[in-house]
């Protein structure tokens, strides 16, 4: 019975040893698998990291190039903005100068309008005075014409009077001659008697 018990124990021990070796082998296989898996994962991670680093390096290079392009574009935009600002300021200065010139022209226009009105008023006054002088001159010319006409008539009357006086003087002389002749005859007649 002891031998049977011993064999049974040996059998159980063998079974346990086999089972332990199987378990140990399974654990080792599992651990090996896990290690391989970790190794594979590490390799994959390293590959991914290398790929990621390469991608990051490419992205950085692309970003650097893009930043350079953006810097160039920003510089060009700044130049364009500065040029636009200069043009805008120049236009604003020209517009302000034009507005100031327009204001000055409007002041000049109002001043010239006032001067024109003043000159027109003076011209109207002078025209009225000229019209008055012309009317007075016309009146005086008419009076002068009347005086000249009266003078002509008076001169004609004077000529007529002078002619009559001359004729009267001639007649008076003739009468005086006739009177002397008659007196002489009368004296001769009286002397004969």
Instruction: Report the alpha-carbon distance of residue 121 to residue 127 in Å, rounded.
Output: 10
Length of the chain equals: 193
**What rounded mean pLDDT belongs to the chain?**
81
Q: Which two structure tokens, joined as six digits, stand for 174? A: 């003739």
pLDDT digits (tens, 9 = 90+) for 80-137: 889 988 999 999 999 999 899 999 999 999 999 999 999 889 889 988 998 888 888 8
CA–CA gap between residue 184 and residue 101 (Å, rounded): 117
SS3 193: coil
- Say which residue the tokens 């009347």 belong to: 146
CA atoms of 59 and 190, how far apart (whole Å): 184
Structure tokens at 193: 């008697």
Give me the pLDDT at residue 14, please: 59
Alpha helices in the chain (DSSP H): 2-192
Handedness of CA 158, 161, 165, 167 (dihedral sign): positive
Q: State yes or no: pLDDT of 49 exceeds 70.
A: yes
* pTM metric for this prediction: 0.38
Q: Which residue has the tokens 């009368």?
A: 186
Q: Residue 119 half-sphere exposure, CB side, CA atoms within 13 Å? A: 6
pLDDT of 181 reads 83
Percent of residues, the chain, with pLDDT higher than 70: 82
Q: Report how far residue 148's alpha carbon sits from residue 152's, in angstroms, rounded to the nearest whole number.
A: 6
pLDDT exceeds cutoff 70 at 19 = no
Write out the two tokens for 115: 């001067």
Confidence of residue 175 (pLDDT cuts 50, 70, 90): confident
The whole-number average pLDDT for the span 3-27 is 60
d(CA 155, CA 138): 25
Q: pLDDT digits over 149-174, tens only?
A: 988 888 888 888 888 888 888 888 88
Q: Residue for token digits 């970003």? A: 63
Per the model's pLDDT, the better-predicted residue between 3 and 50 turns out to be 50
Q: Which two tokens stand for residue 8?
A: 């049974």
**What pLDDT band is residue 13 in, cutting at 50, 70 and 90?**
low
d(Cα 36, Cα 49) in Å, to the nearest integer? 19
Query: Is the pLDDT higher at 94 or at 181?
Result: 94
16, two tokens:
């346990």
């Amino acid at each position: 019975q002891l031998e049977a018990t011993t064999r049974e124990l040996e059998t159980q021990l063998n079974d346990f040893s086999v089972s332990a070796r199987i378990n140990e082998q399974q654990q080792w296989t599992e651990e090996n698998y896990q290690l391989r898996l970790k190794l594979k994962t590490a390799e994959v991670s390293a590959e991914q990291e290398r790929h990621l680093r390469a991608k990051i390096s490419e992205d950085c290079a692309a970003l650097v190039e893009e930043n350079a392009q953006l810097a160039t574009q920003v510089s060009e935009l700044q130049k364009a903005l500065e040029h636009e600002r200069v043009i805008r300021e120049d236009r604003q200065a020209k517009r302000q100068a034009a507005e100031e010139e327009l204001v000055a022209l409007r002041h000049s226009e109002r001043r010239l309008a006032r001067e024109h009105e003043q000159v027109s008023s003076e011209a109207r006054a002078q025209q009225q005075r000229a019209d008055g002088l012309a009317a007075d001159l016309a009146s005086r010319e008419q009076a002068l014409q009347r005086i000249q006409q009266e003078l002509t008539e008076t001169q004609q009357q004077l000529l007529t009077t002078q002619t009559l006086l001359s004729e009267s003087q001639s007649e008076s002389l003739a009468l005086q001659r006739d009177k002397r002749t008659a007196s002489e005859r009368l004296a001769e007649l009286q002397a004969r008697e």
